[in-house]
Amino acid sequence: MEKRIELEKRGLSPDKIIELNLDNCRSTSIVGLTDEFVNLKTLSLINVGLTNLKGFPKLPNLEKLELSDNRISGGLNLLYTSPKLTHLNLSGNKIKDLDTLEPLKVFENLKYLDLFNNEATSIDDYREKVFNLIPSLKYLDGFDMEDKEAEDSEAEDDEVNGNDSEDDDDEGGLEEEDDDDDEDLDEEDIGLETVYKEHLDEESEGEDYEGVEYEEEDDLVDEEDEAEGEEGEEDSTPRGKKRKLEEPEGNGN
C-alpha cells in the first residue's frame, strides 16, 4: 500500500492531495496513509483485503470513503477522526449486526450509507432500524425512507429548484432566435434575387441594343454591295455594246 500511495501522489506533497484511489492494492490493514493528508476529500479502498480499520489516519476534511469488497467486521469508531463524512460505502464486507453500526450515529453529515451484501441486511426491519439509528441518514443502499431511489429524489429536488423551467425557457428563447434568423435569411435571399434579376435585365437590354447596331451595319454593307452591283451592271453593258460594234469589223476582214 505504501508504494501505491507514493505512486498516486505523483510527486505532490500530501497536503495537496484531494482525491486518492488505492483500489486493489492488497493489504489487511492501512499502512502508509498518514495525518499529513489534511485536505483529502475522497478516499477509495475498494477490494484491498482490509480486515479492520486499524491505522486509519486523522482526515478532518474527508467526505467520501469507499470501503466496499473488503473483510471489515467492526471498528467503525476509528472513523471518528473524519467528522465530515457524507458518503460511506461498506457493501460486501462482514458486518453481521446493527451494533457494529452504532459508532456511525454521531456523524452529523452522513447522508449516504451502503451496506449491500452484509449479513446485517437480513435483520428484520433492517432499513427502519438503520434510519432510526443514524438520524442524519438520507439514503440507505441507494433508497430513502420511502423506498425512492436517490437519483429520482435528487431529480425531484432539481425540479423544485426550478432548473427544468429555466431549461425550458432557454430552449424557447433559442427557438425564437432561430425563427428570427430564418426571417432575416429569407429577406436577404429576396433582396439578392431582386438585384440579380435587375442586373440580368440590364445585361439583356444591353445585348439587344448592340444587336440593333449590328443590324444597321449589316444594312449599310448590303446597300454598298447593291450599289457596287449596279455599277457592275452599268459597266458590263457598254462592254457588250463594244463587242457588238467590233464584230462587223471582224467579218469585213
Give the pLDDT band (50/70/90) at residue 151.
confident
Report the C-alpha gap between 91 and 76 in whole angstroms: 14
Contacts 24+ apart (CB under 8 A), 40-48: 42/18, 43/19, 44/20, 45/70, 46/70, 47/23, 48/1, 48/22, 48/23, 48/24
Give the pLDDT band (50/70/90) at residue 245.
very low
Report the C-alpha gap between 153 and 227 in whole angstroms: 107
Most confidently predicted of 112-121, 185-194, 197-206: 112-121
For 121, which DSSP code?
G
- Looking at residue 86, its amino acid is T
Q: Which residue in 119, 61, 117, 128 sits closest to 89, CA to CA?
A: 117
194 or 36, which is more confident: 36
The per-residue pLDDT for range 86-95, each reduced to its tens digit, is: 999 999 999 9
**pLDDT at residue 166, as a whole number:** 43
| Residue given cell 424557447 in the structure block | 172
